[in-house]
Amino acid sequence: MNNKISFKELVRELAGRGGISQSLSRRFVQELAQVVQEGLLEDGVVRLSGLGTFKIKVVTERRGRHPRTGAPITIPSRKKVLFKPEKALRELIQIALDTPEKSIRPHTSAPAAKDITPPTTEANPFDAFLNASFIDGALEVEQTEPPYPAPVQPQSQTSVPEPPGAETSASAKPVTRPRRHVREEQKNRKALYWSIVALLIIVLFYGRTLLNEEDQPEIARTLHPEKPVAEQVVSKAPPRVQKEQSKPTRKSARRNLRSHLTRHGESLWRLAVRYYDNGYLWPLIYEANHQKIKNPDFLVKGSTLVIPELEGSVSHPTQSDKETLAAAHIRAYRAYRTKHHEEALNHLKVATRFSVAWIKAHLTEIDPVDRDQLFAESSKFID
Amino acid sequence: MTTQEVLKRLSVRLQRSFRETRDIYANCTQLFRDHLKAGNSFTIPNWGTFGTTRRAGRQAYNPHYKKTITLPARQVVVYKNAASLKKAINEARHEQ
């Protein structure tokens, strides 16, 4: 808890988030302080959205006593700067108190287990990421359970009918507080597990049925000729080749469009859902059309986009597919780096799942601060 | 002074576009918020120190309903002026 962050560190982090130089971010913060001072001198009040209001308050003259001699003195009127945090900030801080305290540095914070839907990550790594957080949570609970065995519960029940005063004094004690937190946490975690398990089952089931659908014509083809078993074994190899050949043609027959004219209200996510049945693949379209798309969150109406196709499938990408996916996610990372840093980091993590080699070859595109963090988190880069 | 005015001045001084300044500003405040949320404190020269502290829960009295109420513990933002800022503001008063 209560770490003191040095100005230098602050500047470095700001530079990392904004994708700007450290000298610029240092100047920015310094000038911001300067402008705030000017604003206070000119208007007496400065409102900064995202933080709160700085205001000058005049403290009137009052009579006091000299602390050492006890002689009566008048303390002259002076001005003070008050800071009132805006409501959102106050609530944010309050939430930080209510949720179990972890000394996470915000920059390196792994996405909290609670935000289940970061909208733009690829399906499989995203599942894996969910799994990872799931496992983390499970481990944590296992660790926290032993120190607080079952008999704790009746104790808490007896404490309920106590008068409110006693209750607060109890809650102020450092011992009882963490317990309540742990219990709430466990409850939350359990609910989370079940929802995740249910989600995974649905996803798996859906995936199965999709696979079955694709395999069925193949099975039908092999079964139809009704060849003797021996022959069928021999002829196993050719149909497999045939399958691979027929796959793209079938795909392109079903989704004939390989280019797309954007219309009102369309987004990359929706296009990815339409052409790949998977919204998380939107960076692919973005990568293929990055010259036309300035902002991936906003498509211009009436431009023609290329819809690239994967050589393999989403579940079994080929090597070149992996590279394009990695490249696509790196591009998404760069697009979001200044706007939404956590999102950008998610893209970066997803990219590492596809092709570490590609990222190694393009390290210059990644901001040094993020790169260091990536190295620290991922063991793949150690060698 | 509003955020817009602050950003306008900043963009002139840093010789950056308004948009760019605004993006940096958004990142900057986000960074501050993240640190405050994590319970970290930081000092910005010529501005002040930001941090958070815990206010313990307490008993209070509502005179209207003549009832004692329990106020829960709170986490609040604390801000302390930089000495230079305090000085600048109080000196300006003497000039006036």
Domains of chain A, residue spans: 7-98, 123-212, 246-381
pLDDT band at A247 (very low <50, low <70, confident <90, very high): very low
The 3-state secondary structure of chain A, one letter per residue: CCCEECHHHHHHHHHHHHCCCHHHHHHHHHHHHHHHHHHHHHCCEEEECCCEEEEEEEECCEEEECCCCCCEEEECCEEEEEEEECHHHHHHHHHHHHCCCCCCCCCCCCCCCCCCCCCCCCHHHHHHHHHHHHHHHHHHHHHHCCCCCCCHHHHHHHHCCCCHHHHHHHHHCCCHHHHHHHHHHHHHHHHHHHHHHHHHHHHHHHHHHHHHHHHHHHHHHHHCCCCCHHHHHHCCHHHHHHHHHHHHHHHHHHCCCCEEECCCCCCHHHHHHHHHCCHHHHHHHHHHCCCCCCECCECCCCCEEECCCCCCCCCCCCHHHHHHHHHHHHHHHHHHCCCCHHHHHHHHHHHHHHCHHHHHHCHHHCCHHHHHHHHHHCHHHCC
Cβ of B1 within 8 Å of Cβ of A338? The answer is no
Q: How many CB atoms lie within 10 A of CB A50?
A: 15
Q: Which of A32, A41, A89 sits opposite B89 (nearest CB)?
A: A41
- DSSP run (H or E) holding B95: helix B83-95
Written as six digits, the tokens of A115 are 């935000």
According to DSSP, residue B92 is labeled: H
CB B23 within 8 A of CB A339: yes
State the Cα torsion B55-B56-B57-B59 to the nearest 10°.
Answer: -100
Interface list for B 1-40 with A (CB within 8 A): 1-3, 5-6, 9-10, 13-14, 16, 21, 23-40
Looking at mean pLDDT, say which of A102-111, A255-264, A275-284, A373-382 comes out highest.
A275-284
Lowest mean pLDDT among A60-69, A94-103, A214-223, B39-48: A214-223
Given the cut 0.85, state whether the ipTM is greater than it. yes
Cβ of A83 within 8 Å of Cβ of B79? The answer is yes
Identify the residue among A22, A40, A60, A81 best suited for mutation to test binding to B, counting B beta carbons within 10 A and taking the highest.
A81
DSSP-based three-state secondary structure for B16: coil
User: Which residues in chain A are closer than 8 Å to B79, comparing Cβ atoms?
Assistant: 82-83
| Residue where the block lists tokens 């993590």 | A349
Give the pTM.
0.42
Provide the mean pLDDT of chain A. Answer: 71
Interface list for A 21-80 with B (CB within 8 A): 24-25, 27-43, 45-52, 56, 78-80
Distance from B44 to chain A by nearest Cα, in Å?
6
- DSSP run (H or E) holding B48: strand B48-55
User: Which residues in chain A are closer than 8 Å to B27, comparing Cβ atoms?
Assistant: 14, 17-18, 338, 341
CA distance A178 to A158: 18
pLDDT band at B49 (very low <50, low <70, confident <90, very high): very high
Lowest mean pLDDT among A211-215, A285-289, B62-66: A211-215
Written as six digits, the tokens of A322 are 């992996």
According to DSSP, residue B45 is labeled: T
Cβ of B89 within 8 Å of Cβ of A81? The answer is yes
pLDDT band at A382 (very low <50, low <70, confident <90, very high): low
pLDDT band at A170 (very low <50, low <70, confident <90, very high): very low
CATH of the domain spanning B3-95? 4.10.520.10
Is it the case that residue A165 has pLDDT exceeding 80?
no
How far is CA B83 from each of CA A77, A84, A92, A182, A301, rounded to the nearest angstrom? 17, 19, 28, 42, 54
CB A329 within 8 A of CB A344: no
Fold (topology level) of A7-98: HU Protein; Chain A (4.10.520)
Provide the mean pLDDT of chain B. Answer: 87
Work out whether strand B41-44 and strand A4-5 pair parallel, antiparallel, or are unpaired: parallel
**Would you state the pLDDT for residue A53?**
92
